[in-house]
Amino acid sequence: MGSFGIPLFPEQASTFAKDVDALYLFIVATSAFFALGVSIAAVVFGVIYRRRHAGEIGARIEGNLPLELLWSVIPTMIAMVMFGWGASSYYKMRTPPAETLNVYAVGKQWMWKFQHTEGQREINELHVPVGRAVKVTITSEDVIHSLFFPSFRTKMDAIPGRYTQLWFEASKVGTYHIFCTEYCGTNHSGMIGNVVVMEPAAYQAWLSGGTTEGTLAQRGERLFGELACGTCHLDTGKGRGPSLSNIVGKPVELADGTTVTADEGYLRESIINSQAKIVKGYQPLMPAFQGLVSEDNLVALVEYVKSLSPTATATPAGTAPAAAAPPATPANAPAVGEKK
Amino acid sequence: MLDTLKLPERHYLNNGHGFKSWLLTKDHKRIAIMYLISISVMFLLGGLFAAGVRVELLTPQGDLFLADTYNKFFTMHGVVMVFFFLIPSTPAVLGNFLIPPMIGAKDLAFPRINLLSLYIFWLGAAFFFYALFAGGVDTGWTFYTPFSSFSSNTNVIPTALGAFISGFSSILTGLNFLVTIHRMRAPGLTWFRLPLFVWAHYATSLIQVLGTPVVAITIIMVAVERMFGFGIFDPTRGGDPVLFQHLFWFYSHPAVYIMILPAMGVISEVISTFSRKTIFGYSFVAFSSLAIAVFGFIVWAHHLFVAGISTYSAMVFSFLSFSVAIPSAVKVFNWTATLYKGAISFETPMLYVYGFFGLFLIGGLTGLFLATLGVDIHVHDTYFVVAHFHYIMVGGAIMGYLGGLHFWWPKMTGRMYSEFLSRISAILVFVGFNLTFFPQFILGYMGMPRRYHAYPDEFQVLNVMSSAGAGVLGIGYLLPVIYFLWSLKKGEVAGPNPWGASGMEWQMPSPPPTENFTEQPIVHGEPYEYTPHVAREANLV
């Protein structure tokens, strides 16, 4: 879209884009109404009531309570419409559907590293299929970055020390910008890339194009072996560390009596800062891996542990999406249709 | 009429000569003048950094400066403008000069502390200049951790200490104003007879006193982490980087109201004077200042909507953020209604007020986009935000400050400036400002992120427009320097009340004597009283 040769909107390339643009235009229209209304009133009053002789003074008008109430209440009501609409759009952006394609993003001075569960790794480029919900789990190796897809109208900060998430469903094939929107030092403006939205078939072809490392979970499994995690984390549950089978997405009872849900963030924390949350019935014996495992490898380890909970992971690692028959696909019906 | 006017023989400017008489003065008016000179220098410096940024952005490639140099330019532009110009601007210059006479007092409650606050400001500026000459700083004025705590290898600590120290100047000024407004009002000057300029500064002072210590503590925590390696914000040492953002914005969001509220106070005074009419809805305008000050403290997390805060807290803070919009809207409506059936004239201060109207409206209304969650996620940290806060902090705050300076210049110096040049300047500022910053809204929605040294080609047209506008804006800002300096020697003698204003400060001679009033004024009437009787007394008929 554009006018007079100046583009006004980025491409609408995700399912969020139309809604966000409509909301934006609604606020533009409301703002224009008020801005023009007040400006025109100020100019018209300025002309009509201009001072005609030096000694002229204005009428004595001290105020008007009904008017004050009117221009407090009406803007409040309009603001509440904006709030409600904005909150509902946001809620959708923050709530990924049950069935998603999972990608990991690691920000690093000054590049974006993306890892697909199938094993592909990319730098400053992300390939995704059209019409399928993609969930990106994001972190940073150093300072705060922010992963921004203008054509998808969404962004999320990459924060060192924790995972954040965003999701989108691309709706239009094409290549679009990826920007870093949190200032991160020297080459902040060079931390840009492209998201390539592909037809499902082309995406499949891209996925099967050469990686020698196996899937992300397989890479994690190798690391799991190299770091000797398996000496304590026995499947039987009788090791010095708790069993890692079928824990993801489930509540974990901790030694201090509280309960947490075993999500990606919890798994990551339990590796690098193992003393933070001790599972009930176990001793705090595990060494902290802070600084010993890169964020890329942490992602692989997390993905491996997730693969040990096949019922919880929506897209089982190592399974190409087209081959996986999800039990139910409520939010992304088009994806089902495209599999024919 | 005017040629019969003479400057008073004895006034605060000729009461003592030489540096010592200025540096050791306890006169709030002289301190205000020294602030005026100091912050004008800082404004010029901040403007030069901005010019560097705008010239670099003429082309998509980062070809004029190295990336590090560019990053230092926008950082130092922000640090100078926020901490050393905008925060002191209207309060320390106009507030300092005018609050005592507006309430019928001889000086502020603590004249020595007032001078101390100026020295503290200079000390803070000295730290900043040290950082500048030692090679500058590149963290952005927001000092986000963990970049500022371990990644940046520039002069973070001296710069942060400069901001920390100048914060105490702001706290002391606020404290001084609060005590002065409480304790030193003239007999008969009840709270609801106070000029709205004083109300606005009362609200501002509350923020300065309550908010500034928080950012001071936060800055110290960054310095401690950087120097001694304590893990406060750095996650590899067990810290939380987002905690910094909560603490920083707890002050720095209200700090925006430190900049805009005093400007709003100026607008109320000027609009009433040039409409010869009392302010419409006085108590609503007065209380909306307090409402803005209070609500301003509970909206900070809208700066963190994409920083991984929970969906629920984002919704709460979105809701609360709209609460600030309402008192701001109420002010604008009341000002517009004040014009209704006024006797309006358009000397330069009033032109600035009209400019303020246009720019503050756009600035305020674009705040709605940022409070609205669904839209903020897209425009967060893009040029949309840059445009928005410049419309508020430059369009609003500086238009108000310049309007006030033009309004009270004859009071401060006893002389008039060139009306022709000053009107040209007001128009250039308005046009240049819009040309600079309006394209940035579009750039932001297109997705151009903030703080980019180089950018994709499709953003160039709008960036060139913006840089061209900055040139016009620069001329608009430089003109007043010329005609204000010219007026000091050659300007027409203004007389005590050149605008026919009703405020108590206009009853003093121009320039006023050191003690402001020879007799204690006693207030009998309401503020902004424009009656035929007053008009006759002010020699206007």
* Cβ burial, residue A76 (10 Å; 0-12/13-18/19+): middle
Contact B62 A189 (CB under 8 A): yes
Which pLDDT value is given to residue B538?
Answer: 55
- Nearest-Cα distance to chain A for B81, in Å, is 19
CA-closest candidate to residue B419, choices B504, B506, B363, B486? B486
Give the chain B residue whose CA is nearest to the CA of A55: B541
Give CA A4 to chain center in angstroms: 34
Q: Which residue has the higher pLDDT, A203 or B539?
A: A203
Please, what sign has the CA dihedral across residues B59, B152, B80, B293?
Answer: positive
Cross-strand bridge partners of residue A101: A134
A 10 A CB-CB count for B51 gives 17
For residues A304 and A313, what is the distance between their CA atoms, to the nearest angstrom?
11
Residue A234 lies inside a defined structural domain of this protein: yes
Task: Please state at what angle helix B419-446 crosses helix B348-371, rounded to 10 degrees.
Answer: 10
Picking from B278, B319, B332, the nearest residue to A60 by CB comes out as B278
Could you tell me how many residues make up chain B?
Answer: 541
pLDDT digits over B449-469, tens only? Answer: 999 999 999 999 999 999 999
* Cβ burial, residue B3 (10 Å; 0-12/13-18/19+): exposed
H-type helices in A231-323, by residue range? 264-272, 295-307
Residue pair B136/B72 in contact by the 8 Å Cβ criterion = yes
CA-closest candidate to residue B197, choices B127, B124, B115, B101? B101
CA-closest candidate to residue A267, choices A282, A291, A250? A250
Q: A237 and A201: one domain?
A: no
For residues A322 and A338, what is the distance between their CA atoms, to the nearest angstrom?
9
Q: Does B333 touch chain A (CB under 8 A)?
A: yes
Mean pLDDT over B515-526 rounds to 90
Which pLDDT value is given to residue A330?
Answer: 40
Residue pair B215/B206 in contact by the 8 Å Cβ criterion = no
Q: Does B2 touch chain A (CB under 8 A)?
A: no
For residue B236, the chain A residues in CB contact (below 8 A) are 160-161, 290-291
Best of A189, A290, A295 to mutate (most B CBs within 10 Å, chain B): A189
Residue pair B203/B175 in contact by the 8 Å Cβ criterion = no
pLDDT digits over A248-268, tens only? Answer: 888 999 988 899 989 888 999
Please confirm whether the linkage preceding A200 is cis (ω < 30° from 0): no
CA-closest candidate to residue A103, choices A163, A171, A48, A55? A163
Tell me the CATH number for domain B24-537. 1.20.210.10
A 10 A CB-CB count for A56 gives 18
Residue pair B381/A157 in contact by the 8 Å Cβ criterion = no
To which residue do tokens 């931390």 refer?
A191
For B418, phi and psi rounded to 5 degrees? Answer: -70, 115
- What the block records as the tokens of B376 is 């903020």
Which pLDDT value is given to residue A234?
Answer: 86
Q: For position A302, which CATH number holds?
A: 1.10.760.10
pLDDT digits over B353-400, tens only? Answer: 999 999 999 999 999 999 999 999 999 999 999 999 999 999 999 999
- What the block records as the tokens of B417 is 């400036």
Q: Does B537 touch chain A (CB under 8 A)?
A: no
H-type helices in chain A, by residue range? 17-48, 65-94, 200-208, 216-226, 264-272, 295-307, 333-337
Q: A166 and A241: one domain?
A: no
For residues B521 and B514, what is the distance between their CA atoms, to the nearest angstrom?
15
Whether B37 has a pLDDT exceeding 90, the answer reads: yes
User: Three-state DSSP class for B139?
Assistant: coil
Task: Give the total number of structural domains in chain A.
Answer: 3
Q: A246 and A208: one domain?
A: no
Q: A109 and A208: one domain?
A: yes
For residues B123 and B142, what is the distance between their CA atoms, to the nearest angstrom?
21
Give the chain A residue whose CA is nearest to the CA of B462: A6
- What the block records as the tokens of A201 is 């078939």
Residue pair A68/B281 in contact by the 8 Å Cβ criterion = yes
Q: Does B332 touch chain A (CB under 8 A)?
A: yes
Residue A300 lies inside a defined structural domain of this protein: yes
Contact A57 B343 (CB under 8 A): yes
Please confirm whether the linkage preceding A110 is cis (ω < 30° from 0): yes
Whether B73 has a pLDDT exceeding 90, the answer reads: yes
For residues B433 and B468, what is the distance between their CA atoms, to the nearest angstrom?
10
Task: Please state at what angle helix B241-275 crosses helix B282-295, rounded to 10 degrees.
Answer: 170
First to last CA, chain B: 12
Q: A203 and A303: one domain?
A: no
Residue A312 lies inside a defined structural domain of this protein: no
Mean pLDDT over B517-531 rounds to 87
For residue B109, CA distances in Å to A247, B195, B506 come to: 67, 18, 21
pLDDT band at B532 (very low <50, low <70, confident <90, very high): low
Picking from B241, B341, B378, the nearest residue to A58 by CB comes out as B341
Give the chain B residue whose CA is nearest to the CA of A71: B330
Q: For position A162, which CATH number holds?
A: 2.60.40.420
For residue B318, CA distances in Å to B141, B296, B356, B513 come to: 24, 13, 26, 50
Which pLDDT value is given to residue B24?
Answer: 94
Q: Which amino acid is at A253?
A: E
- Nearest-Cα distance to chain B for A243, in Å, is 26
Please confirm whether the linkage preceding B146 is cis (ω < 30° from 0): yes
DSSP of B189-245, one letter per residue?
--GGGS-HHHHHHHHHHHHHHHHHHHHHHHHHHHHHHHHH---SS-GGGT--HHHHH
Q: Which amino acid is at B256?
A: V
For residues A1 and A105, what is the distance between their CA atoms, to the nearest angstrom?
30
Give the chain A residue whose CA is nearest to the CA of B272: A58
For residue A91, the chain B residues in CB contact (below 8 A) are 311, 315
% residues pLDDT > 90 (chain B): 89
Please, what sign has the CA dihedral across residues B30, B36, B42, B48?
Answer: negative
Give the largest Cα separation in chain A, rounded. Answer: 97
Picking from B278, B340, B366, the nearest residue to A62 by CB comes out as B278
Residues ≥6 apart with Cβ < 8 Å to A264: A137, A163, A302, A306
What ipTM, to 2 d.p.? 0.92
Give the HSE-up count for residue B162: Cα atoms under 13 Å, Cβ half-sphere: 24
Residue pair B368/A79 in contact by the 8 Å Cβ criterion = yes
Residue ranges per structural domain of chain B: 24-537
Question: What are the residue ranges in chain A where pLDDT is below 50?
Answer: 1-2, 314-340
Please, what sign has the CA dihedral across residues B258, B263, B266, B267?
Answer: negative
Domain range for A241: 216-307
Contact B275 A58 (CB under 8 A): yes
H-type helices in A209-314, by residue range? 216-226, 264-272, 295-307
Q: How many CB pairs under 8 A join A and B?
A: 296
Q: A195 and A156: one domain?
A: yes
Residue A57 lies inside a defined structural domain of this protein: no
Q: Which amino acid is at A221?
A: E
Residue pair A264/A270 in contact by the 8 Å Cβ criterion = no
Give the chain B residue whose CA is nearest to the CA of A73: B326
Mean pLDDT over B331-350 rounds to 95
Whether B494 has a pLDDT exceeding 60, the answer reads: yes
Residue A323 lies inside a defined structural domain of this protein: no
Best of B372, B382, B430, B460 to mutate (most A CBs within 10 Å, chain A): B372
For residues A315 and B76, what is the distance between their CA atoms, to the nearest angstrom?
48
Angle at B308 between CA B444 and CA A247, to 5 degrees: 140
Strands A259-261 and A6-7, how do they pair?
unpaired
Residue A72 lies inside a defined structural domain of this protein: yes
First to last CA, chain A: 33
pLDDT digits over A305-336, tens only? Answer: 988 888 765 444 333 333 333 444 344 434 33
Q: Does B27 touch chain A (CB under 8 A)?
A: no
For residue B140, the chain A residues in CB contact (below 8 A) are 183
Contact B330 A79 (CB under 8 A): no
Residue A319 lies inside a defined structural domain of this protein: no
- Nearest-Cα distance to chain A for B176, in Å, is 31
To which residue do tokens 């942060």 refer?
B160
